[in-house]
Amino acid sequence: MNDLSLIEQAKKKASYCAVDDAFQQLIDTILQQNPNQNQNQNKIVFGVGSGTTIVYAAQRLSQRIKEFENQNNNNNNNNNFEFICIPTSFQSSQLILENKLKIGNLCENPIINVCFDGADEVDANLNCIKGGGGCHTQEKIVASCAQKLIIVADDRKDSNKLGEKWTTGIPIEVLPLAYVPICSKIEALGAKVTLRVSKTGKVGPVVTDNGNFILDANFGIIECDKVESINNQLLSIPGVVETGLFVKMASKVYFGMSDGSTKVRCI
């Protein structure tokens, strides 16, 4: 068995554990609050992140919803639930549809119960770097609407400080017309900045789902108590749309370990 298959197994197991825990907690809470479910329709809204790990989370979410609905039908229960999923990118919208989940939007569902997403690195305080796949702006918007953000990753993403393992830098989405002056201003803050270019068939810069460019700003290893300050400095630069620093947003992280176990870290 090669290393890649072990990593994928770890990601899958962590994703399944994260979805199972959150799904059951939500159902139990709603049933306890209102045992007469036939009188009301309860809407549960999930945020579905982007990336390779979330493929497994979407699969498991679909399975749990089907199991719940089948159990209700078999037991002649009148539990009236509607499950809606909010995507964070084109990729995650495709995941939702492929797994036959009901897709929604933030206009109709501005409050999300739980958001599942991956990360490129997580520090000791659960601050995250995201955006390796270029979707961090929409991911952060969806995560900001969630009552809980649950991160799922393999143990390669587990660090004491950001920048220890993810050495590409902080992804920063910027308006194309301003990327040159923004580069200069970020370099003045002490970072090495590169414009992300396509490594596939397309020639030129990577373009986000929002039509913008991505800069990768390497500040080296970032002390946990400096993450928020760096994030605020970057966001103050005109033309910066959003950073890949998720500061004080995650409530729980599930790490799939190389030995087959799952490690859970909470605030």
CA atoms within 13 A on the CB side of 125: 15
Other Cβ atoms within 10 Å of 165 Cβ, number: 16
Q: Any idea of the CA torsion for 153, 159, 160, 161, to the nearest 10 degrees?
A: -110
Compute the distance between CA of residue 15 and CA of residue 151 in angstroms, rounded to an integer.
9
Left if phi > 0, otherwise alpha if psi is -120 to 50, otherwise beta: which for 239? Answer: left
- 242 is annotated as an active-site residue: no
Residue-wise DSSP of 16-40 = HHHHHHHHHHHHHHHHHH-S-GGGS
Compute the distance between CA of residue 42 and CA of residue 79 in angstroms, rounded to an integer.
9
Q: Which of 121, 139, 173, 242 is catalytic?
A: 139
List residues with catalytic annotation.
139
